[in-house]
Amino acid sequence: MPCKLIMPAFGYKEGKVVKIFKKDGEKVEDGELLAIVETKKATFEMYAPCSGRVKILFDEGSMVPTGEAFILIE
């Protein structure tokens, strides 16, 4: 069952995907740094919540609504 990397709220309605460290189809390990996201006031590191293959739903530079998955790990 796939797990999701969700854009956290941090008090805002959306966040920007600044950097994704893996490409579509690449393997990622649980706890590995996977992405950097930012809000108007802060930048955050996002870590893989499980191991598997990456499926990117929103590219770098995209604005993603909070609560929305921007990466699936299958």
Query: Which pLDDT belongs to residue 72?
Result: 97
What does the pLDDT look like over 3-50, one tens digit per residue? Answer: 999 998 878 899 999 999 999 999 999 999 999 999 888 899 999 999
Domains, the chain:
3-73 (2.40.50.100)
Adjacency order of strands within the sheet including 14-20: 43-47, 33-38, 14-20, 63-65
Q: Considering only residues 41 and 73, tell me which one the structure prediction assigns the higher pLDDT.
A: 73
